[in-house]
A = this chain, B = another copy of it.
């Protein structure tokens, strides 16, 4: 029963999906191919090995579903430990590095926040807005250091990154307001 390693983003994605809805490897494949979650990789060559790793580490368990239809599927669902690992991932503090380089993983985390009480989503969005604001301030300072005589395209690409982070902060605040309305 592996203590061991931090799951991959892909493994977390799979863990979250089977927590939302227990399903087989093939079902997962379909999901990855047909929905936006497919941005986190894809293809049997990644999914099946990831599933097996999760099973070896005791985070998911597959049981054969013999409500005979086509072929019997192995339906995976999180174990108690898997559920724990997933939830602690979802609640994990948002770091500067998450914002810097793993914004997509943060969004994946948020997508699974329906597994937690709404208060967790509120905290997530507050924390995100704060972290992103700080990072935007940092980037803005860096932008001012760009020499004016330099060719413009580098600066422009940088500005795009900055724009995205500004949009992220706005998004977080807008979503946050929706949670207030929903729970009042």
C-alpha spacing A121/B39, complex, angstroms = 27
Chain A 123-144: CB-based contact to B (< 8 A → 1; otherwise 0)? 0000000000000000100100
Contacting residues of chain A (38-52) with chain B, CB-CB under 8 angstroms: 39
- Contact (Cβ within 8 A) A153 B101: no
A81 at the interface (CB under 8 A from B): no
Interface size (A, Cβ < 8 Å)?
A: 33
Note all chain B residues with C-beta closer than 8 A to A170.
Answer: 163
A64 at the interface (CB under 8 A from B): no
Which 5 pairs, one residue from A and one from B, show the smallest C-beta to C-beta distance? Answer: A114-B151, A111-B157, A113-B153, A107-B157, A111-B154
A sample of 14 more A-B contacts (CB under 8 A), given A107-B161, A152-B178, A163-B171, is A36-B139, A39-B100, A39-B101, A39-B161, A110-B157, A112-B153, A114-B151, A114-B152, A152-B182, A160-B171, A163-B170, A164-B164, A164-B167, A167-B167
